[in-house]
Each structure stands twice: as C-alpha cells, then as structure tokens.
A and B are shown apart, each in its own frame.
Chain A
Amino acid sequence: MTATLAGINDFFIKLFFGRDADSAVGSGLGGSDSLYMFIWWVSVFFFVLLMGIMAYCMIKYRRRPGVPAERSASHNTPLEITWSVVPSLLLAVMFFWGFDGYLKAQMAPSYAEQIELTGAKWNWSMTYSTGIGASQFTKLGSNENVPVFYIPAGKPVRLKMSSKDVIHAFWVPDFRTKLDVMPNRYTPYVFTANPIDRTGADTRVQKMSDKNGNEFYYRDHTVYCAEYCGDQHSEMMAVLRAVEPAYYTTWLNTPPYDAVTPPIEVGQLVWKAKCAVCHTVDGTASTGPTWLNSYGYPREFTNSDPMTQQMIDADPIKWDNYIRQSVINPGSEVRAGFQNAMPSFAGQLSDVELRGIIALIHSLSDRDPKKIEGFDHLDEEAKKLNEAEAAK
C-alpha cells in the first residue's frame, strides 16, 4: 500500500520536474520537492472535494420545471469557521516548511567554494579562485557558444553574483533555486550539487577525457537567465558541469591559456566567452557589428566624428586603439546603425586577452592598414627575408 502511494508520488514528481532534484535544497525528505508534493496533494484533495460537491449539485439540483429551489440555511457559522480555520492550519505548515527550506537555500558553510559570477547582456561568465574562466563551450538552443562552468559535486558552492548592466536572474532548474543578479550589489547563489554516482545508476553521469588525457565523470546542469533582460534573454544560458572534487582541483589549476598561447587562440576563447553573443565572425547580422572584414575599414559613428580612411592610412595602429577604446568605453564611439548596447569590459580583460581580441579581429579582415608611403623598400626586404626563411 505505502509502496503504491510512494510510486504514485514518484510518478507525479517525474511528471512535474522531469527528474529528481540534483541539489541538497531540492531533494530528500524536507527538501523543496517534497514540500511541493505536499502542497500538490493538499491541493488535489481540496480540488477533488470541491469539484465533487459541485458536480453532485449540478446533477442533483438541476432545475426541473415547477419545482422550486429548496429552502436552506443562509449561513452556518460553525461550518464557516471550520472551513476557515482548517485550511489556515495547513497554510501554516506550508509557511514554516517553506521558510525553513528557503533559509537552507540561502546559507552556505564558510568552507564553501566561492566563485564569482557575472551576468551581462546576454551571457554569463565566471571567475574562479585561480583567475581562470570558462574555456569550453557547447550548443544549447540557437546559442552555439554556451559556456561550460566546472563545479565540484557534493561540495557546497557559493556564487558571488553581480551584473554589468540590467537585472538578471540565475536559475538552475535542477537545483530548484534562483536568485536575482543585481547591477548595484553582490547576491549569493548557494547550492550543493549531488555527488557524482559512478555506478551508472544515474544515466546523466557521463565520462570524458580532457585535452591532457585525464578521464573524468561529470553531470551537466542547464542555467537560464530568469529575469527578462532584452533581445537575447532566451539565449542567455550556461552549463554547470558537476565533476568530482578531485578532478575539479585539477581543472582549476590548468589555465586554458597563458602568455605564450598564440594571441589568435586566446582571442577565439575570449570571443566565445564574452563577445559571441553580440558579434559574429562570419558576417551575419547580430546585436553588434560583425568582426568579419572590419579591421582596417573606415567607420561612421552616431555620437562622434567618423574614423576616415585617411586617418587609418596615417596611423597603422588606429584600429587597434579603436578596438581597445570600444572594449573599455563602448559608449564613446557607437557605430552608425547600432544601439549603444554594450557594457564596458574595463578591468575584466587581461592584457593577454585584449591582445588576443585585437589579433582575432585583425586576422578576420581582408584589409591591412595601408603601407606608409616612402617605406615600400622595407616591405621588399621583409618579403625577401620571409622567402629566405621559407627556403631553409
């Protein structure tokens, strides 16, 4: 009997949530899923009771010609008090249970892993204690550059969240909790992802190996932005990849790039993590200008003087400076035909990353800054040197 009831309950949990909660807050006895199911069964009881009485009356007391409505009481104080008080008691249970769970979802022990999370229109980025960020990307919906963030499974984690522009909200449905990401203060998102089950009982746990050949088990959780934030609100996703704490430590200490990584490779990673949501590299339109064939071309601005071909010709690093300026203070020169939608990345890109971005944009253009007149012989010499190098 109890087994059947538990089975029915499980059936509804699956129906509602698709799968069990993957966090300490949601799962287990007393977790928010069991509270939800408690409310569900209370609701079902009252709904069936009310609709049952309604259906009974509809049949029993339907109008028959010549038969008047029966006389009945205009009110019944004991009955009315009963049906006010009994539901109130149930509501009190819901309130206290819910408040208890809410507090659990807000508090993290002091040893919790702290990671900084930044929301911006329209992507998430994380900065780990070792200074690294996301270096892997995956496809979700129509977004091909959804960042993958590694987190330690079974260990409390506290995200220190802030927004660069408008209000966002960080929601991991598997963890059953969300919190707003505000532009003017930090907010904490606390969770403990369920440990990784290597036995294969959890079909969502998978195995893969990283670029250094280390094998590891992981389970992915989707992150959504839950507070409306504009054009690509629905593309603002991320993946939390829960891995075993030991592997997490390894991963944390393997920087994806350093000072000797080729700048274009760095640029590509930075582009995926921070820029791809608005700037394409294949010429298609998006919120911001595409990077394909842009370096070295003249530009018109809505709020300042244009960057003319002469200026570019006269100054070979004009475009490098323009990119730098656009990253640090995007509102100063807004490209004609586009809105001033970009947040500032001042202080958020290292010199290596900024160099990478410039190198990437440069490499995507079919145009180099015009050679400076009177120095053509240098080109000739460089060409000869290159040929000599190649001949070796």
Chain B
Amino acid sequence: MTTVDRTSEHLGAHAGHHDEGSYLTPKYGPIGTVWDWMTTVDHKKIGVMYLFAVLFMFFLGGVAALMLRTELLDPTRVVDGQVTGAALSALVPGEVTPASVGQLYNRVMTMHGAIMVFMFIVPGIPASLGNFFLPLMLGAKDVAFPRLNLASWYIYVFGSMFGVFSILMGGVDTGWTFYTPYSTTTAGQPQVIAMVLAAFILGFSSIFTGLNFIVTTHKLRAPGMGWFDMPLFIWAVYSTSIIQVLATPVIGITLLLLFFERALQIGIFDPGLGGDPVLFQHFFWFYSHPVVYVMILPAMGIISDVLAVHCHKRIFGYRAIAFSSLAIAAISFLVWGHHMFSSQGELAAMIFSFLTFFVAIPTAVKVFNWIASLYKGSITFTTPMLYVFAFLFLFSIGGLTGLPLGTLSTDLHLHDSYFVVAHFHYVMFGGTVIAFLAGIHHWWPKMFGRMYNERGGQIGCLLVFVGFNVTFFTQFFLGTQGMPRRYASYVDDFHTLHVISTIGSYILAAGFLVHLGVFIHSLFLGPKAPQNPWGGLTLEWETQTPPIEHNFHDEPVVTHGPYDFDEVVPPGWDPKDYPLPAPDPAGHKH
C-alpha cells in the first residue's frame, strides 16, 4: 500500500477558503431546480434520485410482502361454503373461492419478487450508493460517461413504469422467474408481456451502469491510487459491474425470446410446440445466478468499508477480500445449474454441485477476514456498525444454510421449499438489505449534510434484526418439515410457525417505519454534519459535506492507503481527538 507522507500544503489547499455551495444548493427557482435535477449529469444527483427510487420500490415490494404474510396468517379453508383465511380477498371484488385466493396470492407474490429483484435489489446499492460514492472514493469529478449515467437512470424509470403498468393492469402470476411453459400459457397476455419487457429494459440500465463503473475505475482513479489502494467498496462494485455487463445480455435475449414465445408462439420454450422448457431455465439462471452476486457483492464492499471506519482499524487481508470479490464474480458464471437439481440429469447435477462449493470458499474467507478485522480495533456502536454486526450474524446463517442446498442429496428435500425462501432472504435481506442500511447510515451525513438521530437508528436496527430473525428463522423449520414455497394455503401442521413468521414481519415493518421517521427527521431537523463524522480515510471524507458540484476543489492526490488508521489522522479531525498508536518499533510499515 502507498504510504507516502501527506504533504501539508495539499491539506491546506482546501481548508475552508473556497465557500462554494454544495451540490444540493439550488441554483435556480423551483421549476429551474426540478429541471436541473431532471437533466443533471452529476453522478451525485443521479445517485440520490436512484436512492429514493429504489427505496420507493423497496416500500412497494415490502407492502406486497406484508400482504403475503398477512394472507398466510391463516390457511384458506372452506367452512360451510364460506372461505376463511382469505385476508387479501377483501381487496378485490368478486366471489371468494380457494382458486381466487390462490390467484390473488400469486399475483402479489410475483409483484413482491419482481419488484424486489428487478427494481430494488439489482440496481439498489450500485446505482444509488455506488453512483454517489464510486467517483468520490476514486477522487474523480464524475463517472466516465455522465450522460450515459443519466440515460441509464431514465431507462430504469421507463422500465419500472412498464412493471408498475403491468401490475395496474391486473398483475402477473408467473413468479419473478417466468418459468416456461407456465409463463407462456397463463392468462393475462398484455401484463405478462409488459412485465417481461420491464425486466428487459431494466437490464439495459444495469448494463450501462456497470459499463460506466468499470471504465471509471480503470481511467479515473486519482493520482497515486494504485489498484490496491482502492477502497474495498470499489473492488466490490467493480466485480459487480463485470457480472452486470457479462450476464445481463443473456437475460436480454432470454426475455426477448420469451416475448416472442408469448406473442407469436415460436415454440422455443413451449413443449407443446416442440420447445424445451429446461432451455429457458438454463438461460434464466445463467443470468440470475450471477445476478445474486450483483446483489450481494456491493453489500460486502459496504461492510468492508463501514467496518474499517467504525473500528478505526485496518481491514485484515485486504488482498484476500479484493481477490475473493473477483473470484466470486468469476465462479458465479459456472454454478447456475444448482437451481435446477430437480430438473436435470445426474452428471450435470454433480458438476454444478461440485462447482457450487467453490463459491463457498471465497465467501467464507471474506467473513473470516471481517471478524479478524475486529481484533484490536476501536469498536463503536453506531447504527452503521450495529448493522455490520447484524450482517455478520445474518449473513453467516445465510451462507451456512446454503451448504445443505448445494449438497445434492439434502437439496432434493429442501429444493423449492421454505428452506430456500429462508436461505435466500438471509442472504439477500440479512446480507444485502442490512448492508445497504449500514451504508445509508454511514454515508447519510455526507450525502445530505445532516446527522441522523443515533438512538433512533439503533432502535430501528434492533427492531429490524429481531423482526427479521423471527420472520425468517421459523421458515427454515417450515422448509425442513415440508412446506413448499409459493403456497397460498397450507395444511394445519404449519399453522403455528406461519403465525410466528407473520408476527416477525410486522416487527420488521415497525423497524423500517422507525428508520423512515429517523431519516425524515434528519432531513429537516438533523444537526449539520461535520466533514468527516466517523473518521474515515477514504477520499469522500476529504471533501466538504455535502460535496461541491465537482466533488473536490483541487484534484486529490492519494498519499496513504484507504485503511491506514494506524498512520494517519483522518481528514477534518484534530490530532488531539485521534491519538495514533505508538510507532511500530521495527519501523516497517505494513
């Protein structure tokens, strides 16, 4: 790592005497400001717009999830000709029958999955926090292609509108996986086509964002920043971008073929016409497996950075974490078949099971490194750090429960059961969403120039952690005991566990409401944030809070590694508040 001494005149160069407004300062009247935001090529504004958009989608998907859990509070039964346990049915007119309950449940289930996957979690961290902080952390003025970035945002909006339009037209009941031949034969032609097109269009947004980030990382690093001086968040986003660019075109062609299958019955996927439904599954998972790493890798990057800053501690095994991101990205392209253990031949199953275990190793290595990074740290219990602990707890469970799913004989039982649902949510929610929350809290002061209420954040975190575990830990047992996924109703044996899970989901929702309150409070009443509230060493903390329009007054020069907490007083901090440890007696630097 570079450990050139910081030149004092460089620090002094932007010590306050430029009093330029932040990127948030309106330069025009109200209409002008709106127009300014709508046509901005500033990565920070685009990042903020993405942040609000994906959080809105998270809200929509979350409401759908609560509807599902409420529906599952009671199993559907016909008692004296009356259907009971059909909570959702109050929302739609028409006669209530077990079939109509299933129909409605399946639409809400698809809405939850499609929104959460395509509109929230895939664009989620890279497009919002990545957009905002990738150039800042690299010391760049903007991403490589700012106009492409804006285009990518509008494509996202356009694609999401198709999705929402499809829901308003009555919804889709294919599940987010669009398995053929169900998706080519189910009712609701226009909605299914609209939803498929939505996912197709959103793919372009994903490709353009990824492409932009790769080029930015290659060409716009600040002087002095070598590849191994980059913050680990950048490594993670970089690896993510590679997957986005290489995997998304495959779902593009898949969805296009599905579109033609649906519109013209060309017969590629429909067995009734001579097609092969398993081909669709191969195509679909060739994208959708790597894409779960699009969801989780940026989260891992956030964890690395937040953990280091809130412990004032060098990340243990920097290179191992950086390379494991790349390794995960590479291996992720070879394991798609483990989603199809129940629909493919023995040889393919063996190969895919074998390869799947290879993903486990770099993932485990990361967790070990994070835990080791805590050793001899100076650990705070701020909300972002609490979320890091929550992440380590939940993601470990998520990772470990992946083992019986990757193992062939146990997977035959657990496949397509609630065990998979629980595992997936432990990784995606316990991993990605929890890390996203850590990141939002960590960077909130930098983005909006105001502190959030720490106590409020901690309470929210606790509720989310407890609620999440109550909701999803029960689902492991539902799965092993035999509850299949995507069921609108169930046999009586599963009632108790479903009730507990639903109660958990309400606690979880309460946690999010607390966070929402904390954020709104902060935006309007929060105290002004200092330049570097946590004492971070990466470049985003060197500029003012919130950053100016062109990020830095002068081009930053990187003179130390991103995690050299042993050597450097964080920018904006008084050395009195930040005692450095005694110099290494041996005199060598790590």
Contacts and interface: CB of A to CB of B under 8 A. Distances in A.
Identify the interface centre among A142, A143, A284, A339: most chain B CB within 10 Å of its CB.
A142
Given A165-B185, A183-B272, A91 B360 contact: yes
B481 A18 contact: yes
B226 to A, nearest CB: 16
Interface string A151-193: 0000000000000011101010110111110111000000000
Interface stretch (B155-163, B254-262, B408-416): B408-416
B584 A50 contact: no
Interface stretch (A56-64, A125-133, A249-257, A383-391): A56-64
Given A61-B378, A98-B410, A171-B416, A69 B76 contact: no
A179 B104 CA distance: 27
Interface stretch (B13-21, B230-238, B294-302, B316-324): B316-324
Contacts of B587: none
B95 interface: yes
Interface stretch (A101-109, A194-202, A205-213, A352-360): A101-109
Nearest to B563: A74
Given A57-B375, A84-B365, A173-B482, A227 B416 contact: yes
Nearest to B367: A50
Contacts of B417: 171, 226
Identify the interface centre among B278, B342, B349, B350: most chain A CB within 10 Å of its CB.
B342
Given A69-B566, A102-B346, A61 B392 contact: no
Contacts of B480: 16-17, 36
Size range of the chain B interface in the assembly = 35 or more
A66 B578 CA distance: 7
Interface string A87-106: 11001101101111111111
A235 B489 CA distance: 8
B369 to A, nearest CB: 8
A226 B365 contact: no
B413 A63 contact: no
A321 interface: no
Interface in A231-275: 231-235, 237
A54 B484 CA distance: 35
B415 A178 contact: yes
B273 to A, nearest CB: 10
B350 to A, nearest CB: 6
Contacts of B102: 230-235
B219 to A, nearest CB: 28
Given A99-B408, A142-B489, A287-B99, 14 more contacts: A25-B409, A58-B389, A73-B590, A84-B361, A94-B403, A99-B409, A141-B491, A167-B182, A226-B342, A234-B102, A234-B487, A234-B489, A284-B95, A285-B100
Interface of A: 15-18, 25-26, 32, 35-36, 39-40, 42-43, 46-47, 50-51, 53-54, 57-58, 61-64, 66-76, 79-80, 83-84, 87-88, 91-92, 94-95, 97-106, 140-144, 165-167, 169, 171, 173-174, 176-180, 182-184, 222, 224-235, 237, 278, 282, 284-287, 339, 341
14 contacts: A54-B392, A68-B378, A69-B378, A73-B316, A74-B317, A143-B98, A176-B412, A180-B343, A224-B482, A232-B99, A233-B102, A234-B488, A285-B95, A287-B99
Q: What 7 pairs between A and B have smallest CB-CB spacing? A: A101-B409, A173-B482, A98-B407, A184-B271, A102-B408, A234-B487, A57-B374
Interface of B: 1, 75-78, 81, 83, 95, 97-100, 102-103, 106, 173, 175, 179, 181-182, 185-187, 271-272, 276-278, 311-314, 316-320, 342-343, 346, 349-350, 353-354, 357, 360-361, 364-365, 367-369, 371-372, 374-381, 389, 392-393, 396-397, 400-401, 403-404, 406-413, 415-417, 476-477, 480-482, 484-491, 493, 565-566, 578-582, 584, 590
